[in-house]
Amino acid sequence: MMLRAGLGFVGALALLTGTAFAQAGDPAAGEKVFTQCKACHTVQAGQNRVGPSLFGVVGRAAGAVEGFAYSPAMKGSGMTWTAETLDKYLTDPKAAIPGNKMVFPGLKKPEDRANVIAYLAQQK
């Protein structure tokens, strides 16, 4: 009986910390999620590939990297990248900004999005 109660408590704690992580975002876990972005993006300033450099992306206006040929949809989105707008965009890029040219299906897990956003917030 005591043992059962003890395990239940540990389980509840694990659930609680899991939730806390999902909300705050874990940059180290986010760096792993970012491997999915690396085919097209770097976090080095001025280093554009298929996609624009994501150096300093949190807090900047969408479509603002010098020398990158954005789609008119991205350039005209009027969006500023915050944790909130990034979460929306990365859930389903096509739905969030119709006509943008990022060919990526999106990150379906909320914790993956929170973690990669926490990682990106450090790249400045």
Interaction of residue 29 with ligand HEC, rule CB under 6 A: no
Q: Least separation, in Å, of the C-beta of 21 and ligand HEC?
A: 18
Interaction of residue 114 with ligand HEC, rule CB under 6 A: no
Q: Which stretch binds ligand HEC (CB under 6 A): 7-15, 17-25, 48-56?
A: 48-56
Interaction of residue 73 with ligand HEC, rule CB under 6 A: yes
With CA atoms as reference, report the closest residue to 120 among 41, 50, 67.
41
Interaction of residue 100 with ligand HEC, rule CB under 6 A: yes
* Neighbour-count burial for 70-102, b at 16+ CB within 10 Å, e otherwise: beeebeebebebebebbbbbbeebeebbeebeb
**Exactly one of 24, 39, 45, 95 binds ligand HEC (CB under 6 A); which one?**
39
Q: Least separation, in Å, of the C-beta of 26 and ligand HEC?
A: 15
Angle at 49 between CA 45 and CA 54, to 5 degrees: 40
Give the span between the Cα atoms of 55 and 1, in whole angstroms: 54
């239940």: which residue's tokens?
A: 8
With CA atoms as reference, report the closest residue to 45 among 65, 25, 28.
65
Residues that bind ligand HEC (CB under 6 A): 36-37, 39-41, 50-52, 54, 57, 62-65, 70-71, 73-74, 81, 86, 90, 100-104, 107, 116
